[in-house]
Structure 1
Amino acid sequence: MTENQILQVLDKYAKDYNFPVLDNYNFDLAQCRLSVFRDDNEWIIVFEIVGVNPSLYISNDIYAYGNSVESQGLIIGLDDIVSLPNEEDLFDDEGNFLITPFHLDLIINSEPLIIKPTEGEYLELGIQTELFNPTKLIRYLSSKYKEKFWLEPLDLLNEINMSEDFKLFYQTDEWEHTDEEKPSENKFFQSLAKAIVLNDKNLIQFKKANTHWSNWTWSDFEKQEED
């Protein structure tokens, strides 16, 4: 494997619109994470993009790329990670969101969570509680319980149908993601490719992390409705 080969794969799928776009008209971002697996000859880059999908359900969309990954790009959207007790739906028959902001009684990845956030807690995060919706909910939950939404490394490998023998090389939820440039033109992905090839994660660099959801809100579903 070479740096150029890695970047060519990422560029190919970005050109085909099958690479994570954080200001996505079809997905409201809450949190994201990048995991890299490698061995002497093989590499895998996996993205977890957690937020709200077009069906207005909270989802963890898994993207995977690598020189031994058969199916690359968006692999699966896990949209059953947040539910109400007793397997109730998040919406009523008329499409109204049933969760209120100040009393959250939820099941997150099979674990119960009961909390009573205050107005101030939401406002500190830049979240308005009027017209409460799934995007506001997951962005609040992400600020407090981010770890509940990630998959374990072995679960990630299973979701993309790769051997559990791969070792986790690097993992982060803070990096400088592409905006309009190709991955091969992005300093972070350039350095990531070099680090993978040389097996040295100290080579990874970027100027400023931009992966927090607040950097990518202009395409939110809510704003699309206003337009």
Structure 2
Amino acid sequence: MTSEELLEKWDRCARDSDFPMLDNANHPLSCCKVSLYQEERKWALFFEIVGFTSCAMNDIYAYGSGFDKEGLVMSYDELLSLSEDVSDDWLPDIENRGTKDKVTIYAKGNPIEVDISEKAIESIDVASENMAGVSIVRLVFNQNPDSLWLSPEELFEITATKQLPLVYSTTEWEHPDIAVGELPSDSVFFQTLAEAIVTNNLDCINTGDVNTFWKNWLDEEALANIEIVDTKMFQKKIDVADFECDYELRGVRELYKITFSSEYDRYQLLFSMYGEISQNFVFQNNPGYLEESFSRDIESEHKYDQDKSVYVLNNVKEKELRDLYELAEMGSEDGGLNRIFLYKEGLYDSKEKAYKIPSGASCLVWGIGGNEAFLARNFESQ
């Protein structure tokens, strides 16, 4: 591959929205890093784009020789938490953790100390009385610059490729403004980086007009702490009618429609109510999508029936259960028909081509489109 061909591939990824865009409103930037690993003709290039939406997140983009998939390969969302509980990740609550200027938070599960004094906040030039999540992540980066990046082992595990030696990394380079039509080939940095990869000569890398400082890519709204109102759930008993046929279930004696006051944290709310009694999950999605989405995250023993897209749970950790609840919601928004059996495992009836709710059991079903859910029971409430 020539440097021109490599640039052309990166440009194609940018046109397909599969290249880092630093002014992504859905992922306001706190800091970023690019790392090149190379050995002879084999190479791997990783971008880590760290920001904050509802939690601190590191978007990993990967490109390289021998990669099955290039572009965005993972969004790592267990980056920062306010306690050892990884779900305690709403960073603006840091200001309610006592009156001390220095607080302990957890970066990838490891405790670190962060100075949140007015002087420290002034050092990143934001309003101390209204700290937003993205500015708190930047504060962590300024004081603990290595705490937010993934290790080489973690990066290569994501791509399922052999680890190569690190030869170059930087947090400062000339990045194209993709939102206005600029491409990697327009950047001196990427022009010379492509040449360095092809010729195996790092001396030719020129960072160009460095513009990766976080505030170059943020608007004022991203720096304001926007309060998120807790989502409330409403439940109403409805007729079964055609529900069994439409949702491929049998054994529904009672049916409840579940709606929400907002779209924020719906799966977390349902997980808090039903997570501990979940028995198995049925995903009406492409099994390959499921495997690609979270197979590397599920470490506990489980049984997966690929033909019917059924996960039967066995000793699954709390975090992994929460991930399954989130995936069920996400899949329903994409048109999936996802069911979570409670109390007892669901049974698949191959003749009726439907899932049977055992006597005394219930099933939580995400409505197609993700706007509502249903609770189907095979018993009558007292």
User: Hey, what's the Cα distance between the residues in 2 that align with 1:219 and 1:75?
Assistant: 29
Q: Give 5+ residue unaligned stretches, structure 2.
A: 227-382
- Conserved in 1, the CA contact under 8 Å of 2:118 and 2:128? yes
Select between 178-187 and 100-109 the one with higher mean Cα deviation.
100-109
CA shift digits 1:134-156 (9 cap, x unpaired): 11210111111111111222221
**1:133 offset after TM fit, Å?**
2.4
Give 1:194's aligned residue.
195
Select between 101-110 and 122-131 the one with higher mean Cα deviation.
101-110
Runs of 4+ residues over 6 Å off in structure 1: none
**1:36 offset after TM fit, Å?**
1.1
Query: Which amino acid in 2 is paired with 1:52?
Result: F
RMSD between superposed Cα atoms in Å: 2.2
Q: Give 5+ residue unaligned stretches, structure 1.
A: none
SS of 2:93's partner is coil
SS of 2:94's partner is coil
- Conserved in 1, the CA contact under 8 Å of 2:92 and 2:136? no
* Distance change in 2, residues 1:97/1:205 (3 Å): closer
CA shift digits 1:37-92 (9 cap, x unpaired): 22333332110111113xx110111001123111111111111111122416234x
* Distance change in 2, residues 1:140/1:116 (3 Å): closer
Q: Which has the higher contact order (CA 8 A, sep 6+)?
A: 1
Give 1:98's aligned residue.
93
Q: How does 1:83-162 map to 2 (within 5 A)?
A: 83-87=81-85, 89-91=88-90, 97-100=92-95, 102-162=101-161
- 1:174 equivalent to 2:168? Answer no
Give 1:215's aligned residue.
216
The structure with the larger Rg is 2
User: Hey, what's the Cα distance between the residues in 2 that align with 1:115 and 1:33?
Assistant: 21
- Conserved in 2, the CA contact under 8 Å of 1:25 and 1:219? no
**1:103 offset after TM fit, Å?**
4.7
User: Hey, what's the Cα distance between the residues in 1 that align with 2:22 and 2:168?
Assistant: 20
User: Hey, what's the Cα distance between the residues in 1 that align with 2:221 and 2:204?
Assistant: 34
User: Hey, what's the Cα distance between the residues in 1 that align with 2:219 and 2:157?
Assistant: 34
- Conserved in 1, the CA contact under 8 Å of 2:172 and 2:207? no
* Distance change in 2, residues 1:168/1:132 (3 Å): same
Which of 57, 63, 73 lines up with 1:59 in the alignment? 57
SS of 1:130's partner is helix
SS of 1:76's partner is strand
SS of 2:137's partner is helix
Give 2:20's aligned residue.
20
CA shift digits 1:163-212 (9 cap, x unpaired): 12x22221111111111411112111000000111111110013321111
Q: TM-score, normalised by structure 2?
A: 0.53
Q: TM-score, normalised by structure 1?
A: 0.87
* Distance change in 2, residues 1:38/1:133 (3 Å): same
SS of 2:41's partner is coil
- Conserved in 1, the CA contact under 8 Å of 2:132 and 2:222? no
**1:129 offset after TM fit, Å?**
2.1
- Conserved in 2, the CA contact under 8 Å of 1:6 and 1:66? no
- Conserved in 1, the CA contact under 8 Å of 2:38 and 2:166? yes
Select between 166-175 and 139-148 the one with higher mean Cα deviation.
166-175
User: Hey, what's the Cα distance between the residues in 2 that align with 1:120 and 1:173?
Assistant: 24
Q: Percent same amino acid among aligned pairs?
A: 32
User: Hey, what's the Cα distance between the residues in 2 that align with 1:171 and 1:109?
Assistant: 21
